[in-house]
Structure 1
Amino acid sequence: MINSLRLTNYKAFENQLIEFKPLTLLSGLNSTGKSSVLQSLLLLRQSYQQELLPNIGLALNGELVRIGTAQDAFCERAKEDYLGFEIIWNEGKKGIWRFSYDPIKTGADVLNNLDSKLPIENVYKLSPFNRRFHYLQAERLGPRTSYDMSDYQARRLGQLGSKGEYTAHFLAINQDKDVLQSKLRHPMAKSNALSSQVEGWMREVSPGTRIKINSNSDIGLMSLQYFYGDSNPYRTTNVGFGISYTLPIIVAVLSSSPGTLIIIENPEAHLHPKGQVKMGELLSLAASYGIQIVIETHSDHVLNGIRLAVHGGKIKPYDVQLHYFQRQEKEGETVTEVVSPHIDRNGRIDKWPDGFFDEWEKSLDVLLEPAGE
């Protein structure tokens, strides 16, 4: 499990330490650097998958993330021509990577290794490099009449795809396997099988939901149908975005073992507030089980789901890390500052910096004032 990440001369960060816990929540206004933190881990993973790490360099563009060019990745305020990442895991292992930035080659999309002393080989057996990893990006697949099949991704690698494109195939392969951790089992599910448990949690989003998976291996496509109670089957395209966006998250969480790293952008997308609260609860339960969850969110409902989980004893407060990213003017420059509120045993948060999930309160203050003429 990752304990901390240090970013050096990377995008908005000249030198920034980010601490991680089993459940880490990143929030803040748009374009303040939240996504950059996630992208740094994805850059290292995709560079390893492209066989550029440990010996060659950093791939700025690939299947997981597309940064662009060296100029896009490099911090404008940097005083030295290199970009660096440092990860410390709770196993006591450390990985330090430094990549050269050539001001003459700003259009390059592979940065060369700067140091001859590379991270010890066995860090590549840890997440985010190993198979116990899921990344679900903000732009997941919406409702589709069909979904791709991939034995390599879904069966051999156990991946759902960054857009959730292999979720249907993965679920078809693993639907009869039991969800082993009792903490993650939904109390209203009919059995411990993955398919039944997924349906149980999906009902928190859309009551009565049942799922049927159809495969057409001749053309390499899967399809999903949804039922509500004893209703006729509905195509995915007729049940809305919330179902399609939520399904990969629930499948990833319920099928993961301790030590897995799951990165999720906007888990609240297209969800009703009640579903967002339940999503926060599910992610908290997963983190308490030993799965490391890192989410980027704009939802106070997801945050409240986490707070309720802490209050209910479902996750320890010291297993939750909150980070709020904000822009500040310093010495004539606009820089990103990271504020890290703490949550206590009662689910209360010790400080609320301006903009940290306080828009509802600000709007209410205005509404309580007499209306203007």
Structure 2
Amino acid sequence: MDNLITGLRLVNFKAFKDQHISFRPLTLLTGMNGMGKSSVLQALLLLRQQNRAAITDAGGLFVLNGDLVQLGTGQDVLFEGAENDVVEIEVHTTELNDALHWVFHYEEDANALKLSHFTRSGSKLPDISSIGGNLLLSSPSEWALNMFAPNFQYLQAERFGPRTLLPYAPQAVGVERQLGMHGEHVATYLYTYGAREVELPSLYHPQWESAEGSSPQLRELVELWMNEISPGTRISLHTLAEVDAIRLSYSFQRTGFVTRDYRPTNVGFGISYTLPILVALLGSEPGALILLENPEAHLHPRGQVRIGELMARAAAAGIQVVVETHSDHVLNGIRVAVRQGIVTPDQVALHFFQRPEEDDGTIGVEVVTPEIDEDGRIDYWPEGFFDEYGKSLRSLL
């Protein structure tokens, strides 16, 4: 059974004084800007970065500035109203009765957090200095988490825009199977795995027509879902080995013919920004973890709704998806997917982040968690939770 994340507790970490956040197969992080949504992803990325790079020294230093996150110094990480110098990250999973618990000591100007101790399933491991910090995240098979496994993708908000040439990265894709956090390896990924059959029926596009016993290829499925964003899109890839690059272009199928190839720079941002998201969702296996920031960027509302539906389909297929979004269209795509039975209500977690002022004057983040029912209805709409359409409509009446 896959070991998925079911909860995350952050203590004195950035905007959080002490906050538990539940995770489900599909988890939405919503709220106004600067409310701490990205900090949730950063906490997970900090742990993965440390495990992946194996850069912890014998003193248990977790480097704050690496290939996945750049958090600054200890002062940037410690909660402003902290009553002590201890930062904690606790991860709950489907396979552990307790949790994985990291406790760090903060130093104001240091570019790393010093690990004090690590607890797994309620049992404190030996002193960090005697075993070396990198061993703490070696992910033994009995508790290996999807956030430490190769079956992982992170796509940040700042993805590659339209580019005629993309880097050819056989190491990152062929060995690590990574799209890159900017989606920079998407062309290599499609070139390498585009002919691989996708055997998760919940991901199939409704228009896919199969021969008996066959499954769609990844590239075919990507094009079908891309048609929801830009109708008739076809993807062309040509390797340029002499410059370690892949030329990416698009053509468009019309009734009775297909257009010539167009450079990505001539077809707008939406296709380029969305392509890595489609490949991540359609190319992952059950048990994978996908972290997405602002999948709605540069998309027409119809496309945003379809992205919401596809994320729901991925969750139903056993892929864990955590999304930071400002889009009510993405939310509504998920709600419709629940109503249609594509995904169940207990597979979806909705979180709204807000900043109430505490009695002592400090400002921390509070997370409100509305629930969705089988008809796609939401039981509680806190102030600021995708309510601007209604407010604007009332102003126009």
Name the TM-score, length of structure 2 as normaliser.
0.89
* 2: CA distance, partners of 1:3 / 1:183: 22
Other structure's SS at 2:9 match: strand
Q: CA-to-partner distance for each residue in 1:32-64, whole Å, 9 max, x for gaps?
A: 110000110001111112214595232211111
Q: CA-to-partner distance for each residue in 1:347-367, whole Å, 9 max, x for gaps?
A: 000000000000011111111
C-alpha distance 59-99 of structure 1, shift in aligned 2 (>3 A)? same
Match of 2:324 in 1: 296
* 1: CA distance, partners of 2:270 / 2:32: 23
Other structure's SS at 2:243 match: coil
Q: Percent identity?
A: 50
* 1: CA distance, partners of 2:206 / 2:341: 17
> Residue 45 of structure 1: which of 21, 43, 48 is its match?
48
* 1: CA distance, partners of 2:183 / 2:367: 30
C-alpha distance 54-279 of structure 1, shift in aligned 2 (>3 A)? farther
Is it true that 1:237 corresponds to 2:269 in the alignment? Answer: no
Per the TM alignment, residue 333 of structure 1 is displaced from its structure 2 partner at its CA by 2.6
Bigger shift: 183-192 or 279-288? Answer: 183-192
Match of 2:233 in 1: 209
Q: Aligned runs of 1:133-212 on 2, under 5 Å?
A: 133-189=152-208, 192-212=216-236
Q: Aligned runs of 1:292-371 on 2, under 5 Å?
A: 292-331=320-359, 332-368=361-397
Bigger shift: 71-80 or 353-362? Answer: 71-80
Deviation beyond 4 Å, 4+ runs, structure 1: 118-121
- Are the equivalent residues in 1 in contact too, given 2:164–2:249 (CA < 8 A)? no
Letter in 2 for 1:18: I
Letter in 1 for 2:382: P
Match of 1:73 in 2: 77
Is it true that 1:272 corresponds to 2:274 in the alignment? Answer: no
> Residue 86 of structure 1: which of 90, 93, 104 is its match?
90
- Are the equivalent residues in 1 in contact too, given 2:96–2:143 (CA < 8 A)? no
C-alpha distance 299-2 of structure 1, shift in aligned 2 (>3 A)? same
Letter in 1 for 2:336: L
Q: CA-to-partner distance for each residue in 1:208-253, whole Å, 9 max, x for gaps?
A: 1011111111210012110111111100111111000100011011
Match of 2:109 in 1: 107
Other structure's SS at 1:328 match: coil
Match of 1:95 in 2: 100
Letter in 2 for 1:338: V
Per the TM alignment, residue 68 of structure 1 is displaced from its structure 2 partner at its CA by 0.7
Q: CA-to-partner distance for each residue in 1:87-136, whole Å, 9 max, x for gaps?
A: 0110126311111113xxx2211111112644585277322111010000
Q: Aligned runs of 1:12-31 on 2, under 5 Å?
A: 12-31=15-34
- Are the equivalent residues in 2 in contact too, given 1:84–1:98 (CA < 8 A)? yes
Bigger shift: 149-158 or 297-306? Answer: 149-158
Letter in 2 for 1:27: T
- Are the equivalent residues in 2 in contact too, given 1:189–1:196 (CA < 8 A)? no
C-alpha distance 214-139 of structure 1, shift in aligned 2 (>3 A)? same
Instruction: Give 5+ residue unaligned stretches, structure 2.
Output: 119-123, 126-135, 211-215
Letter in 2 for 1:222: I
Other structure's SS at 1:270 match: coil
Letter in 2 for 1:115: H
Other structure's SS at 1:114 match: strand
Instruction: Give 5+ residue unaligned stretches, structure 1.
Output: 369-373
Q: CA-to-partner distance for each residue in 1:288-346, whole Å, 9 max, x for gaps?
A: 11000000000000000000000000000011000000111221232211100000000
Per the TM alignment, residue 190 of structure 1 is displaced from its structure 2 partner at its CA by 6.3
Letter in 2 for 1:101: Y
Letter in 2 for 1:61: N
C-alpha distance 57-190 of structure 1, shift in aligned 2 (>3 A)? farther
Q: How many residues align?
A: 365
* 1: CA distance, partners of 2:45 / 2:287: 17
Q: CA-to-partner distance for each residue in 1:58-92, whole Å, 9 max, x for gaps?
A: 22111111111110001111122111101011012
- Are the equivalent residues in 2 in contact too, given 1:47–1:57 (CA < 8 A)? no
- Cα RMSD, aligned residues only: 1.5
- Are the equivalent residues in 2 in contact too, given 1:60–1:68 (CA < 8 A)? yes
* 2: CA distance, partners of 1:176 / 1:190: 17
Bigger shift: 156-165 or 55-64? Answer: 55-64
Other structure's SS at 1:294 match: strand
Other structure's SS at 2:197 match: coil
